[in-house]
Amino acid sequence: MKICLINPPKPNLGDPKQQFPLGLLYLKSFTNKNIDWADISIVDYSCEKGFDFIKGIPDAELYGLTSTTLDYDICVKIASELKQLHKNCKVILGGPHASSCYREISSSIFDSCIIGEGELSFLKLLYDLRYSGRISPAYSSNFIEDIDTIPYPDRASVSDDCVRAYSIFAFGKTFSDGGSTSILTSRGCPYACGFCASNKFWKRKVRYNSVEYVIGEINQIINDYGIRQLRFQDDTFSLNKVRLFKLCDEMEKLNIYFRCSLRVNTVDREILGALYRAGCREVGYGIESMDQRVLNLLCKGTTVEQNYEAIKMTKEFDILARIFIMTGTPGETKETVDKNIEFFEKAAPDIITLNLFAPLPGSEIFSSPERYNCTVLEKDYRKYCFNLSKHKECVPNVLNNDIGIEEMTENINRMRRYIFDYTKVNTGVNI
């Protein structure tokens, strides 16, 4: 059976190459481990600007697309054209959007969708297609408890250019020749932030690869590609402290450099010291806001003081502190912007990444905005404003019920102007 898995264009990302399609590569390696009659190819179009590439997609009986909410419309167009070009083919959809919005997926375009973790569900679908010629509208499965049983992602099935990004560090920093790539050592997140759909996807359950599995994969990456710069894509790299120390001890022997994501309430000097010795040179924190009222309303489970201490400690270890914040959130007021700016001046993070808040499907704020004292202004996510480019005026995606849309819009634009100036002054980079 000829199968083609497609990573679609990602025009909403600043650097699509930094979002390596690990999910598709795991899908292929797991499928090949379990059946020998699937001929699977993977094509990466993440950096494409138009749709001319569609005619070059390999012939297949089954096409699989992975989609976030932001690129769902792109997947619809690809699927529609594939069905015109290949009259008898089947097209399926997986990824976060299929899991969050499977009841809204067009059955006239997609023959089926994969809900949640994909490996076991994809096998079920393939068996149905091979032995009955029919597939169900949707497939879901229990989690794979021991994720060490999933083979390493099949990096050899995509081009070297897809595997290898120039740099995963801020400002194009490099610590080793040979480029960078991504790796995942756990699945899931235990937290329940109101703006995130992860808890719906992963059910607040976290599963870990063993240290031996992770070190084996890193060695494979070094031996096969000569890559020694890694981006760990785990939601929070520091959840299991005992495992983290053991992993850091082993990574320290490998002469690698990496970037990872932490939560401010799961980090201390002992952890940061171990990470630095292991090769960590950049940490990302989802700070979101420096207004405690906003953090509480978003169910973030962190404090402004924890935000400050995490940045301070990270900089002490000569690790770049990248923070991610949102503007246009529920609970935001003019004073929120003042508090944010005051915090930045005091904490001096190395990189601030500003995002306009968007209530994505699957999040609690999208489904129950009244609980967060806000109104979703437009539930058609295709009309959301995501891009905070300095050349574009953006309006809120939600209305804070305590203030008007004019004040929210001014908050957004004020935050944007400040971040652009902060970045230029502190890094020399125009954004």
Residue 300, domain CATH: 3.80.30.20
Q: What pLDDT digit, counting tens, does each position of 372-431 carry?
A: 999 998 877 777 776 676 446 678 889 988 888 999 999 998 999 999 888 887 766 665
273 and 182 in a single domain? The answer is yes
Instruction: Give the residue among 144, 154, 125 at the shortest CA–CA distance from 24.
Output: 154
Q: Percent of the chain, pLDDT > 90?
A: 75
339 and 193 in a single domain? The answer is yes
pLDDT of residue 84: 93
Helix, strand, or coil here: 383?
helix
83 and 190 in a single domain? The answer is no
Please list the rounded mean pLDDT of every run of 10 residues in the chain (431 residues). 95 78 96 97 92 94 94 94 94 93 87 96 97 95 97 94 86 91 95 87 90 98 97 95 98 98 97 98 97 96 97 97 94 94 96 90 91 88 69 78 90 91 75 55
7 and 78 in a single domain? The answer is yes
User: Per the domain annotation, does 367 fall within a domain?
Assistant: yes
pLDDT of residue 106: 81
62 and 209 in a single domain? The answer is no
pLDDT of residue 395: 81
User: Per the domain annotation, does 195 fall within a domain?
Assistant: yes
pLDDT of residue 429: 65
249 and 347 in a single domain? The answer is yes
Half-sphere CA count of 410, side-chain side, radius 13 A: 10
416 and 285 in a single domain? The answer is yes
Structure tokens at 215: 């070190």
Q: What pLDDT digit, counting tens, does each position of 110-132 carry?
A: 999 999 999 999 999 999 999 99
User: Per the domain annotation, does 148 fall within a domain?
Assistant: no
The count of domains in the chain is 2
The sign of the dihedral angle between the CA atoms of 324, 329, 335, 337 is positive
**Domain range for 274:** 164-427
User: Per the domain annotation, does 292 fall within a domain?
Assistant: yes
Q: Which helix (H) or strand (E) segment is 186 a member of?
A: strand 186-187
As a whole number of Å, the end-to-end CA separation of the chain is 46
User: Per the domain annotation, does 111 fall within a domain?
Assistant: yes
Phi/psi class of residue 400: alpha, beta or left (left: φ > 0; alpha: ψ in -120 to 50)? beta
Furthest CA-CA distance within the chain: 64
